[in-house]
Structure 1
């Protein structure tokens, strides 16, 4: 696995005999998807890596794009002998999940590896008339305003953080700029999405202004038989603002996807 570092940090939970779910975090780091891991561990084997370069971890110099990170995670799953894996990605993690599904669809080595995909307010595509917010120009207050239905709930005063934590957040942002680019998108992705044939669910907070529901619907429209569901009273992280509504949608989809599989 030459793309990912050998010391890749992966949290594992749940029944190792159950279906595997790989949870991919966004720019805010693994803590932003921890509740997803706790919920899904009740019925699945959960793998939740920290992307290289986040939270003080090491990023190999060759890891400079979402495509390469996706390729690394595919090899990671193959090395574990995984099959029929559910991919769950939030924000940038949604982009990584889409890219993994695209690469798997185009390579016989990965046949049967990916079984379903859940994209939660994911970035990655270029949609006409629905630009991705410029994350890198926003301060903490501005980010809370566009990412949360209730901005006061999402706002964290940088002055309340330790110097060490502020340094980690700066490094996270720098790594995100290297891997995702400042545009947080791949101009060619939208036109490739029809290659994804596994059951796919797009979950979107109705109040998200990082990537709007119209943006999410445009992605869903390009994926055959994809489902698109909006979560009321939620922004970019519906699993944090409206967890019960989010779990209901995800659990129903996974039940249906298992039956179809």
Structure 2
């Protein structure tokens, strides 16, 4: 990195930028600098799940910058303020998007934190991207490396106008999505989840939930040796905990941690667990600050 750019990054508190992909998507990105006075640490890149946006990482991002990390978070294509691009949605495409964000933000020695579909993108990047040398750790929340053959009925529901109408009604939308979270969840977190789902275009929800049919990256992951923490809610009804255990067994450097009482939406239900997992990985000697 050049000295002027390094000085610029040191001065920034936060900035918004647009990363343009090779198929014309415009990805809305936020870069948050560590709080003044904190010891510099590694970059952390946060990748949200489907029908969410970077808003879901609010608590996680706040704690990370307080710990000295530079944090990069972005809206996946078609979500939030990001556009869809020209090519069909695929997990490989989402991995390439992550690579573009890492490159444009000069994230080096990064820990990538991926939730659900964001985990799929992180795994695809780690397994296939020639620039994956930028990656030095993975925190994987409520995700898997295979077995995501979403049935037609669920894909149709995600794209259904009546379902979208229901999501915009606070009580009804919360009821419809209650199974995605654990028992006794904070009502505020439950409503944030509903708001994010409601704000995502129906066709985007459907396309993303459809794109993992037949996807299986396990064989390629056997060669990915970066340290990883796999966190999974014991009550997750979206992605089976057994699939997360298989993921942790597949990644040579991973450990698996079940989360009692939690469902699928760990960034909202247990945000501090993600922060602790980043701290665990950054404490390893193989990780060095910027």
Instruction: Give the structure 2 partner of residue 193 of structure 1.
Output: 221
Counterpart secondary structure, 1:125: coil
Partner of 2:133 in structure 1?
Answer: 112
Distance 1:166 1:204, change over 3 A: closer
Per-residue deviation, 1:246: 4.7
**Alignment-derived partner of residue 205 in structure 1:** 233
Query: Which residue of 2 is the match for residue 177 of structure 1?
Result: 206
Pick from 33, 43, 52: which aligns with 1:20? Answer: 43
- Unaligned stretches of 5+ in structure 2? 1-19, 164-172
Task: Give the aligned partner of residue 169 of structure 2.
Answer: none
Confirm or deny that 1:77 pairs with 2:111: no
Structure 1 residue 167 displacement after superposition: 6.5
Residues 50 and 201 (structure 1), Cα distance of their counterparts in 2 relative to 1, 3 Å cut:
same
Q: Distance in 2 between matches of 1:38 and 1:26?
A: 19
Q: In 2, are the aligned partners of 1:147 and 1:210 still within 8 Å (CA)?
A: no
User: What is the alpha-carbon distance in structure 1 between the residues aligned to residue 260 and residue 53 of structure 2?
Assistant: 24
Specify whether residues 210 and 132 from structure 1 end up closer, same or farther in structure 2 by C-alpha distance, changes over 3 A only.
Answer: farther
Preserved contact between residue 26 and residue 32 of structure 1 (Cα < 8 Å): no
RMSD (Å) for aligned C-alpha atoms: 3.2
Q: Map 1:86-165; keep pairs closer than 5 Å.
A: 86-104=111-129, 107=130, 110=131, 112-126=133-147, 136=155, 137=157, 140=173, 141-150=175-184, 153=187, 155-156=190-191
Deviation at 1:197, TM superposition (A): 1.1
Instruction: Determine whether 1:37 maps to 2:94.
Output: no
Structure 2 counterpart of 1:8: 27
Q: TM-score, normalised by structure 1?
A: 0.79
What are the superposed Cα offsets for residues 93-129 of structure 1, whole Å, 9 maximum, x if unpaired?
A: 011111111123xx2xx263111111100145127xx
Conserved? CA contact 2:27–2:77, under 8 Å: yes
Deviation at 1:132, TM superposition (A): 6.2
Q: Distance in 1 between matches of 2:140 and 2:268?
A: 15
Q: Is the 8 A contact 1:3 1:69 kept in 2?
A: no
**Deviation string for 1:172-218 (max 9, x for gaps)?**
x422433x342645433223221211111111112111112212101
Worse-superposed segment, 58-67 or 199-208: 58-67
**1:24 Cα deviation (Å)?**
0.3
Q: What is the DSSP-based 3-state SS (H/G/I as helix, E as strand, rest coil) of the residue aligned with 1:260?
A: coil
Equivalent of 1:233, from 232, 257, 261?
261
8 A contact 1:193–1:222 mirrored in 2: yes
Distance 1:167 1:187 in 2: 26
Q: TM-score, normalised by structure 2?
A: 0.72
**SS in structure 2 opposite 1:73?**
helix
Structure 1: 4+ residue segments shifted above 6 A? 131-134
Note the alpha carbon deviations across 1:144-195, whole angstroms, 9 max, x for none. 224333368365499x97xxx88733x1x422433x3426454332232212
